[in-house]
Amino acid sequence: MDATTAPVCLAALAVILCAVLAWRSAKKQSRVAALVNKLPGPPAYPIIGTVLDIIMIPRENLMEEVLARQKRYLPIFRTWLGSHPGINICLPEHLEVIMSSSKHLEKGSIYKLLHPWLGTGLLTSSGLKWHSHRKLLTPAFHFAILHNFVEVFCEKSRILVDKLRARAGGGGFDVYPYITRCTLDIICETTMGTKVYAQDVGRSKYVEAVYGVAEELTYRFLRPWLHFDFIYMKTQRGRKFRNYLKVLHNFTRKIIEERKSYIATNAAAFKENSMSDSKIGTKKRIAFLDLLLQSSMSDNHLTDEEIREEVDTFMFEGHDTTASAISWCLFLLGLHPDVQALAYEEQEKIFQGSDRPATMQNLQDMKYLERVIKETLRLYPSVHFIARLLQSDVKLGEHLIPAGCQINVMIYQAHRNPQQFPDPERFDPDNFLPERVQTRHPYAYIPFSAGPRNCIGQRFALLEEKVVLSSLLRNFKVRSLEARSNKMLSGELILRPAHGIQVSLTLRSPS
């Protein structure tokens, strides 16, 4: 090969190689499309996929339309987000195949839109980083640690009760913001070791920014052309999104810096309180953030950015989901005075009219209230869907689902399976009597996900919800002012009431 023909041959070889790669890619895409399109689903169009009807819906009606679509094509159907296929499932046997597997642990591509906010924290990471951070953070939610958090749960709940006394007997109001500020106080002091006095401050810029980010992420997700940063970030909505991020990141960075400063000035006490497996049963309360900061100073070095990612993740997941669960629970109790009476009767049996704080033993004795909370999470799961990326072909029933598809787990619909929950729209805490639970498929009820990637904070959340609801039940009778049939849902990251929770409160006894 002489000097004149060499470039031509190399160029020809490059063209052939590109052609082969393009052919292989097209063949692979053709196979994926052929298998995916065997499933039922809404009409698909070039570039936008199956979202044409969805993006035309007003924001306040969006969740209603999404749920109607799901119901139309149950129990398994396909959607396309641009050229990316999604397989939507809700049968427990299908959920078990995906969620119990250690192979399909990677979150779906939708979670990449969360990266500007949460980075690759525990919610969004995968692979070695997820495994190492999960192992590191699990001790922060050990039962012995949670035992020490009850004191904070009770303290913040008492503040909430004091705030709501001013609204009792005065007509209807939206209780949701009060609950949200309470859960924000709780997550900051328990897991971050920092007091923020959200209930005293009132309106929270942090909470408003969380809601703003959720709205923008939903808007962006449904428009595939906005998935490209170089397009989205140049739009007006992209600029608004960046402003929300600035509020959120500044809030969490301030918490981190305050905790670092505290540790620096209390080094001896902090060292004494550091956690080891041998001391976990007797140690004092340790903040989740302290674990991260300890790790940053040890051989398992975490960068400042990794600490910020995990703090942002737990700040969001630790206050917003519990606020939603508690508020929906109050809503349902306010609609069902018979259930509320039984829940209050249990509280009276435990506390005998005393207004003392709850103990861990008291919380374990709240069997009926626990059933009420679980039934609430069945009807209104805080996280109403999750997504996983298939790493290999799987068989779901008679359907072969190809690798590379995003599996969308429809938790809201899974919890309404009449084979698992007879009369599924009825609010019935007895659905969680032990004998009923034993006969049900283990993947029929998954409010905290399931399998290896289940929620690390689920015991924390349940204890917190019990304390707050116990405090409210012991002090107030709750009456909801809206019917379930009229309640509009917002599914932007967390399943919230679109227009709050309107209730009226009556004091059970004079203060």
- The dihedral built from the CA positions of residue 100, 104, 106 and 107, taken in this order, carries a sign that is negative
Query: Radius of gyration of the chain from Cα atoms?
Result: 25
Question: How far is the C-alpha of 147 from the C-alpha of 361, rounded, in Å?
Answer: 10
Burial of 459 (0-12, 13-18, 19+ CB in 10 A): middle
pLDDT at residue 277, as a whole number: 45
The tens-digit pLDDT sequence of the chain (511 residues) is 555 565 455 455 544 544 444 444 444 568 899 999 999 999 999 889 999 989 989 998 999 999 999 999 999 999 999 989 999 999 999 999 999 999 999 999 889 999 999 999 999 999 999 999 999 888 888 888 888 899 999 999 999 999 999 999 988 999 999 999 999 999 999 989 889 999 998 888 999 999 999 999 999 999 999 999 999 999 999 999 999 999 999 999 999 998 888 888 876 666 665 544 444 444 455 678 988 888 777 666 788 899 999 999 999 999 999 999 999 999 999 999 999 999 999 999 999 989 999 999 999 999 999 999 999 999 999 999 999 999 999 999 999 999 999 999 999 999 999 999 999 999 999 999 999 999 999 999 999 999 999 999 999 999 999 999 999 999 999 999 999 999 999 999 999 999 999 999 999 975 4
Torsion angles phi and psi, residue 228, rounded to 5: -85, 120
pLDDT at residue 281, as a whole number: 42
Q: Which element (helix H / strand E) includes 502?
A: strand 502-507
pLDDT at residue 213, as a whole number: 96
Under a CB-based contact definition with an 8 Å cutoff, are residues 285 and 148 in contact? yes
Q: What is the pTM for the complete model shown?
A: 0.91
**Segments making up each domain of the chain, as ranges:** 28-507
Task: Return the beta strands (E) in 336-494 as ranges.
Answer: 385-389, 394-396, 399-401, 406-410, 476-480, 489-490
Output the six-digit token pair for 392: 């290999």
pLDDT at residue 270, as a whole number: 63
Question: Backbone dihedral region of 267: left (phi > 0), alpha (psi from -120 to 50 degrees) or beta?
Answer: alpha
Strand partners, 77: 88
pLDDT at residue 25, as a whole number: 40
The amino acid at residue 252 is: T
Identify the CA nearest to 492 among candidates 63, 12, 160.
63
The amino acid at residue 368 is: Y
pLDDT at residue 299, as a whole number: 61
Reduced 3-state DSSP string for 210-257: HHHHHHHHHHHHCCHHHHCHHHHCCCHHHHHHHHHHHHHHHHHHHHHH
Cα dist. 140→128, 360, 456 in Å? 20, 17, 9
pLDDT at residue 321, as a whole number: 96
Strands 385-389 and 394-396: unpaired
Check residue 493 and report its DSSP letter: S
Q: Which residue has the tokens 């006969």?
A: 439
Question: How far is the C-alpha of 393 from the C-alpha of 389, rounded, in Å?
Answer: 11
CB count in 10 Å sphere of residue 434: 8
Identify the CA nearest to 87 among candidates 414, 405, 483.
405
Question: How far is the C-alpha of 357 from the C-alpha of 466, rounded, in Å?
Answer: 12
Under a CB-based contact definition with an 8 Å cutoff, are residues 207 and 190 in contact? no
**CATH second-level architecture of 28-507?**
Orthogonal Bundle (1.10)
Strand partners, 81: 49, 84
CA atoms within 13 A on the CB side of 297: 12
pLDDT at residue 5, as a whole number: 60
Torsion angles phi and psi, residue 359, rounded to 5: -105, 170
Question: How far is the C-alpha of 234 from the C-alpha of 436, rounded, in Å?
Answer: 53
Torsion angles phi and psi, residue 490, rounded to 5: -120, 120
Tally of residues, the chain: 511
Question: How far is the C-alpha of 414 from the C-alpha of 66, rounded, in Å?
Answer: 15
Identify the CA nearest to 378 among candidates 420, 343, 320.
420
Long-range residue pairs from 299-304, CB within 8 A, at least 24 positions apart, any chain: 300/132, 300/136, 304/256
pLDDT at residue 278, as a whole number: 41
Strand partners, 496: 490
